[in-house]
Amino acid sequence: MAPPSPPPPTKAQTRLIRRTWERVTEKRLEKDNPNVSASYAFGKAFYKTLFVLEPQLQSIFTNTLQQARVLTGILSYIARAPSVMPERYKDFASIKDMNSSISSPPPPPASSSSSSSSSSSSSSSSLLSDSHQHHVKQGVDEGDENELNKEEEAWMAERLQELGARHADYKGFQESMFDHVGPALVEALQRRLDSEYEPHIGEAWLKAHDYVSFHMKKGLKSRLVWEEALADDHTKHYQYKKLHQQRRRSSGASATTGSAAKASNCSIQ
Ligand code: HEM
């Protein structure tokens, strides 16, 4: 029996993922090259770890433009970005909540003494600021009442399965490669968030990744099974055709022999 789907990340975790992603795209570290954006630096950290975990991927991701596109795709699905959710669901209260949670800014810090690391460019939005941390923590606790409804979840799982099935087209792609994406994302988060990184952030990202890759793998597997069955059908069809032709040829031959025999019989008579 197929293993059950892991639960999707709660909305609070999705919000946390989006906030950490926003933070990653603005946070610069002292050692950063000033000509390179924070998102690019995250991408570099992500692919660096990915290539250590799975060296074969280097031959698949050979250009940075393609890499950036793939990473953006991965992140949009993991963060359940509105771009990957259907237009019609925007009418659902829960999706509205989800969208408004992105546009509403995080609450102001409780005190001006928020932890300002020397490497952080804007300490007021630091994930370590007391109020933000409290908000995030509160969000995670509230999460269970706030999950995707059944219809939204079914829709999301279906999209992820289609996405996974499309990955069969990417040359050199193997199912096991999915397993390295989660750890590479967490490692990149740790490097880029630096002192702002906390274990519950990594947990939220890994939970989202587990859910996404479960459904992508499922879609990939069903496509491969389907293609195998099709190939099998083609082989069977080809074998049947060959057998049929052979039979026709041999029955044609025996028919000729038969008629020759008949003719010779006739001639005897
Ligand atoms: C959780 C894991 C992953 C997610 C969510 C994901 C998501 C995506 C998305 C959204 C795209 C855009 C094209 C489309 O919609 O089909 C894409 C393209 C692609 N993905 Fe993935 N992906 C994942 C893992 C991987 C892995 C492990 C590989 C390793 C080979 C990979 C290789 C590619 C390639 C080669 C493309 C095509 C890029 C292009 O447009 O040229 N993906 N992925």
pLDDT in tens, 49-101: 999 999 999 988 988 888 988 999 899 988 888 777 766 554 443 333 433 44
Lowest mean pLDDT across 134-138, 186-190, 211-215? 134-138
Residue with tokens 């690019």: 40
- The reported pLDDT for the residue numbered 147 is 66
pLDDT tens for 103-114 read 333 343 333 333
Q: How far apart are CA 38 and CA 43, in angstroms?
A: 9
Closest CA to 204 of 115, 253, 134, 137: 137
Q: The domain spanning residue 151 has which CATH number?
A: 1.10.490.10
Residue 261: inside a domain, yes or no?
no
Residue 181: CB within 6 Å of ligand 1? yes
- The reported pLDDT for the residue numbered 203 is 96
Q: Which two tokens stand for residue 38?
A: 């924070």
**DSSP-based helix, strand, coil % in the chain, nearest 5:** 75, 0, 25
pLDDT at 269 over 50: no
Lowest mean pLDDT across 122-131, 184-193, 244-253? 122-131
Q: How far apart are CA 47 and CA 71, in angstroms?
A: 9
Residue 64: CB within 6 Å of ligand 1? no
Residue 170 CA: nearest ligand 1 atom is 35
* 148 in Cβ contact with 156 (< 8 Å): yes
Q: State percent of the chain over pLDDT 70.
A: 70
Determine the structural domain holding residue 66 and report its residue range.
11-109+122-223
**What does the pLDDT average to over 131-140?**
40
Q: Which two tokens stand for residue 54?
A: 């799975």
Residue with tokens 């606790």: 141
CA 246 to centroid of ligand 1, rounded, Å = 47
* 100 in Cβ contact with 157 (< 8 Å): no
- The reported pLDDT for the residue numbered 260 is 46
Residue 47: CB within 6 Å of ligand 1? no
Closest CA to 120 of 195, 199, 228: 195
pLDDT at 146 over 80: no
Q: How far apart are CA 45 and CA 171, in angstroms?
A: 24
Residue 208: CB within 6 Å of ligand 1? no
Residue 146: inside a domain, yes or no?
yes
User: Residue of the nearest CA to atom 23 in ligand 1?
Assistant: 74
What secondary structure letter does DSSP report for 82?
A: G
Residue 155: CB within 6 Å of ligand 1? no
16-25, 104-113, 133-142, range with greatest mean pLDDT:
16-25
- The reported pLDDT for the residue numbered 190 is 97
Residue 66: CB within 6 Å of ligand 1? yes
- The reported pLDDT for the residue numbered 228 is 84
CA 67 to centroid of ligand 1, rounded, Å = 9
Residue 244: inside a domain, yes or no?
no
Q: How far apart are CA 186 and CA 201, in angstroms?
A: 9
Q: Which two tokens stand for residue 136?
A: 């995030």
Q: How far apart are CA 180 and CA 49, in angstroms?
A: 9
- The reported pLDDT for the residue numbered 11 is 84
pLDDT at 122 over 60: no
- The reported pLDDT for the residue numbered 100 is 42
Residue 206: CB within 6 Å of ligand 1? no
Q: State percent of the chain over pLDDT 90.
A: 42
Residue 193: inside a domain, yes or no?
yes
Question: Over the chain, what is the mean pLDDT?
Answer: 76
* 205 in Cβ contact with 78 (< 8 Å): yes
Q: Which two tokens stand for residue 203?
A: 């947990």
- The reported pLDDT for the residue numbered 187 is 97
**How far, in whole angstroms, is CA 72 from its chain's centroid?**
11
- The reported pLDDT for the residue numbered 255 is 55
Total domains in the chain come to 1
pLDDT tens for 222-266 read 999 988 888 777 777 778 788 888 878 877 765 555 554 444 443
Helix axes 11-26, 130-142, angle to 10 degrees: 150
Residue 240: inside a domain, yes or no?
no
Burial class of residue 9, CB neighbours in 10 A (0-12, 13-18, 19+)? buried
**What does the pLDDT average to over 119-146?**
41
Lowest mean pLDDT across 36-45, 148-157, 197-206, 242-251? 242-251
Residue 239: inside a domain, yes or no?
no
Residue 192: inside a domain, yes or no?
yes
pLDDT at 208 over 80: yes
